[in-house]
Amino acid sequence: MNRVNLLDFDLPGLVAFFESIGEKPFRARQVLQWLHQRGADDFEQMTDLAKSLRIRLPEVAEIRPPVLGHEQCSSDGTRKWLLEVGPNNRVETVFIPEDDRGTLCVSSQVGCALDCAFCSTGKQGFNRNLSAAEIIGQLWWANRALANKVLANQTLAHGFDSKNERIISNVVLMGMGEPLLNFENTVTAVSLMLDDHAYGLSRRRVTISTSGIVPAMDRLRERLPVALAVSLHAPNDALRDQLVPVNRKYPLKELMSACKRYIVDGPRDFITFEYVMLDGVNDQPEHVEQLLHLTRDISCKFNLIPFNPFPNSGFKRSPSERVRKFASQLIEAGKVATTRKTRGDDIDAACGQLAGQVEDKSKRVIKRMELAA
């Protein structure tokens, strides 16, 4: 018999599982706490479950996190973990410590099918969606790695520091992949991030970043509205079609309407627009003018991301003076604009540098050759 992986379940899923084996629903809450708050990886650790249940569970269920590959630490404190998700496939997770928070950047797919021009993950092609266990497993592992060992009767909850503050206070789905194209598994994992029996993060501290999959933005708004970042990168359709090819399917007019709808139900009263700064491509004064017009009636913040280069990308990072000017032009017009600090680039952990290892199933390289022929 196939054993189910308990890390694949959020609370309703685990309740259904326990009911299916004739157990009471409250077992789900107990087990969720063991798995996610105490980092248990063995049913024997779950000392408040009846002995008979502890013996029975391993026959029908398992606790199978993704396999941890190697870990790298940057000189600025950023840490990156490689997770093995099947033969020749690896994804990456990054922890970014700051004075007032600790942010974990989580991957949602092995590679990405959307092929944005400036993105190293996109250039790797696409293999498959991560399971819910593989998505939440990144938080599970990072908590463990950051919080030392798991002890059944420790006084400090797993994942908290000596001041009893969460080591990982924020999660961003900004690693490898397009989370909204792996909708159900992402929603299950995010619901664990929010659940008080699991990680208990607020909706404002969990951010999904999307390249703009309009129908899925609406579904997320209805199902589980968390903070939303939209990868804009261009102020007009002609340029965005080039940089973010999915724009041909969901052009800016539709995307902007979806953003407005999202704000109504989302936990924040603004949308974050990410904008990667590419030298001579999208960083000119006229682009600011167009951006201001495009977003004139949307409550939003701009997060400018200096482009992080990777081999053969064909792009250069905008000079810092140009980024500064771009930001101040936005600010002078009354918008909020911040510039993302580049973190962890000495270990290739900065935005867009995550490459992991992807056995491409999309045959993109062949398609590109066909296009060039």
Judged by beta carbon distances under 5 to 8 A according to partner kind, the member of ligand SAH, ligand SF4, none in contact with residue 276 is ligand SAH
Residues 167-196 contacting ligand SF4, CB under 6 A: 177-178
Q: Which does 134 bind (CB under 5 to 8 A by kind): ligand SF4, ligand SAH, none?
A: none
138 near ligand SAH, rule: CB under 6 A? no
Choose from ligand SF4, ligand SAH, none: what does 307 bind? Cβ within 5-8 Å by kind: ligand SAH
Note whether 32 binds ligand SAH by CB under 6 A: no
Question: What span, in angstroms and rounded, lies between the C-alpha atoms of 179 and 150?
Answer: 30
Whether 92 is a known active-site residue: answer yes
CA distance 150 to 132: 22
Binding residue count for ligand SF4, defined by CB under 6 A:
11
178 given a catalytic annotation: no
Binding mask 332-351 for ligand SAH (x = CB under 6 A): -------------------x
Name which of ligand SAH, ligand SF4, none residue 35 binds, using a CB cut-off of 5 to 8 Å depending on partner kind: none
Residue (of 257, 269, 180, 279) closest to 227 by Cα position: 269
Query: Facing residues of 276 across strands?
Result: 305
Binding residue count for ligand SAH, defined by CB under 6 A? 17
| Residue 282 binds: one of ligand SF4, ligand SAH, none (C-beta under 5 to 8 A by kind) | none
Examine residue 23 and tell whether it contacts ligand SF4 (CB under 6 A). no
| Residue 172 phi, psi dihedral angles, 5° rounding | -120, 130
Stated length of the chain: 373
User: What angle do the packed helices 214-223 and 183-194 form, to 10 degrees?
Assistant: 30
Q: Does 231 bind ligand SAH (CB under 6 A)?
A: yes
Q: Least distance (Å) from ligand SAH to the CB of residue 323?
A: 12
**Cβ 128 vs Cβ 110: under 8 Å:** yes
Name the burial class of residue 89, with classes exposed (0-12), middle (13-18) and buried (19+) by CB atoms within 10 angstroms of its CB: middle
Is residue 212 near ligand SF4 by the rule CB under 6 A? no
List the catalytic residue out of 92, 134, 178, 274. 92
Residue of 82, 52, 79 lying closest to 67 (CA atoms) = 82
Please give the single-letter amino acid code of residue 40: A
The answer to whether the beta carbons of residues 133 and 198 sit under 8 Å apart is: no
Q: Of 145, 116, 88, whose CA–CA distance to 356 is shortest?
A: 88
Site for ligand SAH in 105-124 (CB under 6 A): 112, 118-120
Instruction: Give me the 97-136 binding string for ligand SF4, x by CB under 6 A, dash otherwise.
Output: ---------------x-xxx--x-xx--------------
Which two three-digit tokens encode residue 192?
């664990």
- Tokens 């250039």 map to which residue? 123
CA–CA dist 143, 224 (Å, integer):
23
Q: Is 230 in the site for ligand SF4 (CB under 6 A)?
A: no
Nearest approach in angstroms of CB 92 to ligand SAH is 11
The residue within the footprint of ligand SAH, chosen from 186, 191, 210, 295 (CB under 6 A), is 210
Q: What residue 308 binds from ligand SF4, ligand SAH, none (CB within 5 to 8 A, per partner kind)?
A: ligand SAH
DSSP H or E run through 100: none
With both helix axes pointing from N to C terminus, report the angle between 183-194 and 132-146 in degrees, rounded to the nearest 10.
Answer: 40
Q: Are 225 and 203 in contact (CB under 8 A)?
A: yes
- Catalytic positions are 92, 351
Residues contributing to the site for ligand SF4 (CB under 6 A):
112, 114-116, 119, 121-122, 177-178, 211, 231
